[in-house]
Structure 1
Amino acid sequence: MQPMSLLITTCALFVGSHLLLSHPLRAGLAGRLGERGFMIVYSIVAIATFVLIVQAWRGMPPEPPLWAVDDPLWILASLLVLVASILFMGSLIGNPAMPAPNAAAAAQAAPRGVFAITRHPMMWGFTLWALAHALVMPTPGQIVLSATIAFLALVGSAGQDAKKARLMGDSWRHWAARTSFVPFARQVAGTTPWGDALPRGHALFGGIVLWLAATWAHGALGFMVAGIWRWVG
């Protein structure tokens, strides 16, 4: 199999197995195996298919970039990763989409910070991270990998909406009615004040720290120098 075909195949396996186990197959398998047994199977499949992607990625030959990458594009990508980091850190506290015992209670709170931006801040963070990588490493292989991550994040979020509505009922539907799937859709529509979307402290400062650490590690581990480290030091 050609390297690109292998990469596409492994990405399809990763996405397909994740979506199947997360939604149509979950109830049946969890009923037979128990929740703990299901999570073990889910984790094994996820890790195995991810390892296949890594191996396929490592086997890709050098590819010429599809467009020139200059400083303005690096600045845009760096800002996208910063926003992604803020969304990710903000999603870790008070998120009704997380499998936590207090999810229903969290859904009763007024959406503020990253949740006023989108009810799926973690998944949009992954999407922006993938987009940033495609912008500054515009090879066919990287675009396939970035598209895989973004597709899984956004389609998984849509599936999560349906699953949470079944599990949480009116609590989730009430939360969904006061939030948006697409970032800033409610602000643009004029139904939510822009001030509500200002990130809270843990999201803003945690996101900045994560961004600085991750972009520093990018260069320190031998990959391309990223973030502000391209221009300082």
Structure 2
Amino acid sequence: MQPMSLLITTCVLFVGTHLLMSHPLRAGLASRLGERGFQIVYSIVAIATFILVVQAWRGMPPEPPLWPVGDGLWALASLIVLFASILFVGSLVGNPALAAPGAEKAAQAAPRGVFAITRHPMMWGFALWALAHVMVMPTPGQIVLSATIAFLALAGSAGQDVKKARLMGDAWRGWAARTSFVPFARQVGGAAPWADAMPRAHALLGGIILWLAASWAHGALGYMVAGVWRWVG
């Protein structure tokens, strides 16, 4: 199989198993395996298919970039990754979308910080991370990989809206009515003040630390030097 065909095949397998096990197959598998057993199987399948994707991506031959990448594009991509990092860290606290105790109580709170930006900050963080990588590594292989990650994040978020409405009922529907799927949609539409969307301290500090650490590791692991480290040191 050609390297690009293999990459596309593994990406389809990765996305397909995620979506099938998260939605149409979830109830049946969970009833047979139990919730804990289902989570173990789900994790094994997710990790295994992701490893296949990474191996296929690493097996791609060198490809010329589809457009020139200069400092301006690197700076913009780095800022996007910083914003994505803040969304991700902020999503770890008080997120009704997470499968954690207290989700319904969290859904009763007024949306603030990253949740005033979007009710799916974690998934938008992944999608924006994927976008930034295409911006600075515009090769066919990277585009396929990033598109896969972005699609899974956003399609998964849309499916999560449906699933959470079924599981949490009015609690989720009320949360959805007070938040937006698309980042900053409520602020742009005048339904919410911009001040509500200011990320809280833990999201800002944690996001900056994650951004600095991840971009430093990018170069330390032998990949392209990323983030602020391109201009420091």
TM-score, normalized by the shorter chain, greater than 0.5: yes
Per-residue Cα deviation, 1:76-98 (whole angstroms, up to 9, x for no partner): 00000000000000000000000
Report the counterpart of residue 20 of structure 1 in structure 2: 20
Which of structure 1's runs of 4+ aligned residues deviate more than 2 A?
none
The residue matched to 1:110 in structure 2 has which SS? coil
Shift of 1:75: 0.4
Structure 2 residue 189 is the aligned partner of structure 1 residue 189: yes
Report the counterpart of residue 132 of structure 2 in structure 1: 132
Q: Distance in 1 between matches of 2:89 and 2:58?
A: 30
Report the counterpart of residue 207 of structure 2 in structure 1: 207
Q: Distance in 2 between matches of 1:46 and 1:159?
A: 17
Q: Distance in 1 between matches of 2:211 and 2:86?
A: 8
Structure 2 residue 70 is the aligned partner of structure 1 residue 70: yes
The Cα RMSD (Å) is: 0.5
Q: Distance in 1 between matches of 2:215 and 2:55?
A: 23
Give the % identical residues: 84
**Superposed, which structure 2 residues align to 1:124-163 within 5 Å?**
124-163=124-163
The residue matched to 1:155 in structure 2 has which SS? helix
Q: What is the letter of the counterpart of residue 106 of structure 2?
A: A
Report the counterpart of residue 100 of structure 1 in structure 2: 100
Report the counterpart of residue 172 of structure 2 in structure 1: 172
For structure 2, which runs of at least 5 residues remain unmatched after alignment? none
Q: Distance in 2 between matches of 1:49 and 1:228?
A: 32
Count of paired positions: 233
Q: Distance in 2 between matches of 1:51 and 1:206?
A: 27
TM-score of the two chains, using structure 1 as the length reference: 0.99
For structure 1, which runs of at least 5 residues remain unmatched after alignment? none
The residue matched to 1:21 in structure 2 has which SS? helix
Structure 2 residue 105 is the aligned partner of structure 1 residue 90: no
Shift of 1:190: 0.1
Report the counterpart of residue 39 of structure 2 in structure 1: 39
- Which stretch has the larger CA shift, 32-41 or 13-22? 32-41
Q: Distance in 2 between matches of 1:93 and 1:103?
A: 11
Per-residue Cα deviation, 1:17-42 (whole angstroms, up to 9, x for no partner): 00000000000010011111111111
Report the counterpart of residue 48 of structure 1 in structure 2: 48
Q: Distance in 2 between matches of 1:28 and 1:163?
A: 15
Q: Distance in 1 between matches of 2:198 and 2:28?
A: 41
Q: What is the letter of the counterpart of residue 79 of structure 1?
A: L
